[in-house]
Amino acid sequence: MTDLEIWLIGTPDAVSAATKALAHQGHPAQVSPLTRLAGKDTGRVSRYLRLQATTVTAKPRRNEKPATPTLLDSGEDT
């Protein structure tokens, strides 16, 4: 994988924290300005982020299954 495109949506603090955390995983190739949302999403923002991902290959230890990706639920309705 070389590029990863992500839309971040949440509170300004949460989106900023996620942007910083993701920037440590690769080089930010494109970061949009924060866009305020309206209506039932007032107080939330969105941001587009494209990372040039750092490729890391690791072999699982003997007798160890590879990690299974997990989808985390924020608990918020979309």
Q: Which domain holds residue 47?
A: 3-53
How many Å apart are CA 47 and CA 50, to the nearest integer?
Answer: 10
Q: Is 18 part of any domain?
A: yes
Domain count, the chain: 1
Q: Tokens in use for 54? A: 């750092």
- Print pLDDT tens along the chain (78 aa): 578 899 999 999 999 999 999 888 888 889 999 999 999 999 999 999 999 876 656 666 677 666 666 655 555 554
Find out whether 65 and 73 touch, Cβ atoms under 8 Å.
no
By CB atoms closer than 10 A (0-12, 13-18, 19+), residue 22 is middle
Model confidence, pTM:
0.63
Q: Is 62 part of any domain?
A: no
Q: Is 59 part of any domain?
A: no
